[in-house]
Amino acid sequence: MDVAVVDPALFAGTAPPRLAGSRCPGCATVTFPRRGSCPRCPSGTMAAHTLPERGVVWSWTVQEFEPKPPYRRLGEAFVPYAVGYVDLGVVIVESRLDVPRERLRIGLPVRLTMIPAFLGEDGTEVHTFAFSADEDGEIW
């Protein structure tokens, strides 16, 4: 890993970012994060499955007030941030949205990226995944 991340288990890669999900060989259910057993069928062990990095916003909101700990903000002052669900086709993933507020809408094409989430013990930025507007995505 070339950057510090909130939880390495979430990522199949960071440059470029890829999310590490899992897929059931029995019923094709895809989950995020990875898990051991299928939540839908009894068929057994889930296989590692890297999630698509492009999708569309399925729903969104803005976190207007500062959450209580264990939430950790990045800077001195709290800045509201966007959160949503992104439809990746095989699965819908909840994520921070690195999208300007005026552009937030259901159906907006987005692409996986990384954003700094908070500062670690040693002062370095700890990153998490996010989706930002996909400028090439209107062809979708």
Does residue number 37 form part of the binding site for another protein (CB under 8 A)? no
124 binds, among Zn ion, another protein, none (CB under 5 to 8 A by kind): none
Indicate the DSSP class of residue 108. Answer: -
Nearer to Zn ion, 26 or 116 (CB): 26
The helix (H) or strand (E) run that includes residue 107 is none
Q: Does residue 83 bind another protein (CB under 8 A)? A: yes
Return d(Cα 9, Cα 140) in angstroms, integer.
29
Q: Which residues contact 129 (CB under 8 A, 6 or more apart)?
A: 10, 11, 17, 19, 95, 96, 112, 113, 114, 115
Per CB under 5 A, residues contacting Zn ion are: 24, 26-27, 29, 38, 40-41, 43
Tell me if 39 contacts another protein by CB under 8 A: yes
Choosing from 16, 25, 67, 100, the residue that interacts with another protein (CB under 8 A) is 67
